[in-house]
Structures are given as C-alpha cells and as structure tokens.
Amino acid sequence: MNKGRDTKEMILEIGLEMASRLGLEAVSIGELAKAAKMSKSGLFAHFQSKENLQIAILKFAGDRFAQEVVIPALKVEAGIARIQALVDNWIGWTAQLSGGCIFVQAGNDFKDRPGKVRDFLLQQQEAWIDSLRRIARSAIGAGHFRPEIDCDQFAFELYSLLLGFHLYYKLLHNEDIRERQQASLVALIRRYQ
Amino acid sequence: MNKGRDTKEMILEIGLEMASRLGLEAVSIGELAKAAKMSKSGLFAHFQSKENLQIAILKFAGDRFAQEVVIPALKVEAGIARIQALVDNWIGWTAQLSGGCIFVQAGNDFKDRPGKVRDFLLQQQEAWIDSLRRIARSAIGAGHFRPEIDCDQFAFELYSLLLGFHLYYKLLHNEDIRERQQASLVALIRRYQ
C-alpha cells in the first residue's frame, strides 16, 4: 500500500465512525477534515465533493461488511448454522461501530434525499436483502427449511429482527436485548423448519 | 384557539413533516423559518432555541400519535382485534407523514446526540414500548394469549416488525410489504396464542 492509499483509508475509517454516530448526512468535507485533523483542501483533493465522499464511505463500509459479516457466514455449512453465523456477525459489526450499523443510519438519512448517494445505498440494501434470501434458499437445500417457504418473507422477518435489535441496543441501551433477539431468532427459524 | 396558538400549530405541523423527511436534527429555527415563510426572529420568539423547537415537535408528534394510533386502538375490544387495530393505526400514521414515522427517524438522529432532546425522545420510546407491553397483557386478560407469555418479548417482536415495515416501505418502496407485514403479524400472534 502506498501512502496516499493509507491516508485515504484512515480518512474513510474516521468518516465511517462519524456516519455511524451522527448520520451520513452530517459527514461533510469540512467536518471530516476537522475530525481527521487535515486541511479541507487536502480532503477535497481526495474526494472532490460531499456526495463522492459519502459514496466512498458507503463503499468502504460495504467492503468491510462483506469481509466481516457475509463472507465468514458463507464459510459456515449451509442451513441453520449459517443463519446463526450471519446474525452473530451482524451483531458483532453493529457493536463494533460506536453508533451502530451505518446502513441503518444512512437508510434513515437518505430515504428522502434523492441523488447518487441514495441510489448507491439502495443497491447495497438490495444486495443485503438478496444475501438474506439466498441464505434461506441454502437452508432449503440443506434440508433444514421446508421447500415451499417464501424466502423473501424470511428475509423481511430476519431483517426486521435485526432492526429491532439495533434500536433496543443502540438507542435504548437495553441490556437483555441480545438474549431476546436470540429467542426470537430461534422462534423465527422454527417457523420455517 | 387564539392566533398565537394557531401560528404555533402551523409551524409545528411543518416542522413535523420536515423532521419526518430529513431528520429532526435538520430542523433548525433558520430552516423551519424558511419552510414556514416566516422571519427567523418570529420563530425564535416562539421557541427560543433549536433544542426547545425539537422538543416541541416531538411533543406535538406524541400528542398526535396518541390521538391517531394508541387511543383509537384502546377503544377496540382487548385481544387480537386491538393488536390489529394498533398496527393498522401505526401504518396509517407512517403512511400519512411523507418521510414516515418521526420517532423512527429521530431515534436514529439522536441515539448519539446526548442532551434534552434525546432524553425526551427516550421517555416517548419507553411509553410506546409500554403500550405494546400492555396490549399484550390485555390479550392475556381477554384469553387470547397464554398467561405465561413474556409481554416484553412480544413488544420487542412487534416493534421489530414495524421497523422492518418502515424500512421496506419508506426506503425501498417495496409494494408487497403491506401483505408481508400482515402475514408476519398473523404468525407472530399465533405464537403467543
């Protein structure tokens, strides 16, 4: 890695953390320059616009999400164990960022802010929901889920459960939520078996 | 109603709509004055600070939420019919605001912004979760739910389902989501019967 790439990674790291806490819309070139203790013109040279910076943060987060959440789950045997791994990885990802999952945060920020950032975010959301759908399909393949189940319905229900966990954990700081979420996951999986 | 109160209501109405779309943090005295076509000093006379304005919007939204979501559900007979009414009312509330539920939006905006606004929002969240818990308890009373169920668990699962609906509806504009959400609700209720 060269120095320019190292600097860019460091900036994106700080931007990701900031977006997780305060929202992606709060991350401007000026604010991020302050947080990274760099000049505004230095940051501008890397990203050219706030929109490009926001998309770069989403891409950076997306790569890390793939590495930490999706890819390790795909290494676990298909079926219930893989679903459990995906959920555990997602919770690890959410716990590690001080404001929680950047995609949950950015989804709220950008639902009514049309443009390139929103378009990119929607692609990422579709890819994520597709991962959930495929993980249900592979559980059918493994003989754990009934063949006639609706994989889109499973994806929606699993995603809903993660969103509930996110709110109880990151907003309400509810201490029992890890256990509650696990109890709900077990009940959810049982309905599809 | 006097004129001052009418004006204040009109301002809060515009503020609620703005907070629903762009987030509560985006609502400042300056931005809201522009949207309401009023002078900044006029708005300042009503609210004195951005924080007070944000809390006033949350209060206004909370009163409306009580009138449109919770109180009408409590007029329906206790049990499954009441749960269904609460969910239908919540969906109506979310559909009516162009950016969706202000509390979902504000929860994201303020989870890492400590202060009076966050404290007030947390009280509202606790009251809402308490409504969900009590509605489960009244379903036990009506003989629809088993007496040994965990009402907190039900509240968490129902709230998660609403959050999932919110994301699919307001961010992804998924057209089937009303039906999916209803199918999940039926399955959720069945587990507690």
pLDDT tens readout for residues B55-78: 999 999 999 999 999 999 999 999
Structure-token pair, residue B143 = 């003989």
Contacts of residue A70, defined as CB under 8 A and 6 or more positions apart, other chains included, come to A86, A89, A131
Nearest to B132 by CA among B113, B149, B148, B152: B152
Percent share of chain B, pLDDT over 70: 99
What does the alpha-carbon distance between residue A178 and residue B100 come to, in Å, rounded to a whole number? 27
A146 contacts in chain B (CB < 8 Å): none
What's A182's domain CATH number?
1.10.357.10
Structure-token pair, residue A15 = 């931007």
Q: Domain range spanning residue B151?
A: 54-192
What does the alpha-carbon distance between residue B152 and residue B130 come to, in Å, rounded to a whole number? 9
From residue B19, give the alpha-carbon distance in Å to each of A59, B8, B84, B100.
27, 16, 27, 10
The pTM of this model reads 0.95
Mean residue pLDDT across chain B: 95
- B39: helix, strand or coil: coil
Whether B149 contacts chain A with CB within 8 A? no
Domain membership of residue A67 (yes or no) is: yes
Structure-token pair, residue B88 = 């239908």
What does the alpha-carbon distance between residue A99 and residue B159 come to, in Å, rounded to a whole number? 20
Indicate the DSSP class of residue A77.
P
Nearest to B154 by CA among B98, B193, B107: B193
What does the alpha-carbon distance between residue A182 and residue B61 come to, in Å, rounded to a whole number? 33
What's the pLDDT score for residue A62? 97
Domain membership of residue B188 (yes or no) is: yes
Q: How far is A113 from chain B (nearest CA, A)?
A: 7
Backbone angles phi, psi at A94, to 5 degrees: -70, -35
Q: How far is B183 from chain A (nearest CA, A)?
A: 9
What's the pLDDT score for residue A2? 72
For residue A46, which amino acid is it? Answer: H
B105 contacts in chain A (CB < 8 Å): 108
For residue A50, which amino acid is it? Answer: K
Domain membership of residue B8 (yes or no) is: no
Across the range A166-179, mean pLDDT stands at: 95
Report the residue of B160, B172, B189 to disrupt the A interface, i.e. the one with the largest count of A CBs within 10 Å. Answer: B160
What does the alpha-carbon distance between residue A112 and residue A177 come to, in Å, rounded to a whole number? 30
Confidence of residue A5 (pLDDT cuts 50, 70, 90): confident
What's the pLDDT score for residue B1? 52
Q: How far is B104 from chain A (nearest CA, A)?
A: 8
The distance in angstroms from the start CA to the end CA of chain B is: 47
pLDDT greater than 70 at residue B134? yes
Whether B108 contacts chain A with CB within 8 A? yes
Domain membership of residue B65 (yes or no) is: yes
For residue B141, which amino acid is it? Answer: G
Instruction: Find, in chain A, the residue whose alpha carbon is nearest to that of B99.
Output: A112
Domain membership of residue B183 (yes or no) is: yes
pLDDT tens readout for residues A118-146: 999 999 999 999 999 999 999 999 999 99
Whether A127 contacts chain B with CB within 8 A? no
Domain membership of residue B21 (yes or no) is: no
Domain membership of residue B100 (yes or no) is: yes
pLDDT greater than 60 at residue B109? yes
What's the pLDDT score for residue B2? 73
Do A17 and A96 touch, CB atoms closer than 8 A?
no
pLDDT tens readout for residues A49-88: 999 999 999 999 999 999 999 999 999 999 999 999 999 9
Do A110 and B21 touch, CB atoms closer than 8 A?
no
Confidence of residue B142 (pLDDT cuts 50, 70, 90): very high
Total tally of structural domains belonging to chain B: 1
Percent share of chain B, pLDDT over 90: 93
Domain membership of residue A25 (yes or no) is: no
Contacts of residue B118, defined as CB under 8 A and 6 or more positions apart, other chains included, come to B110, B111
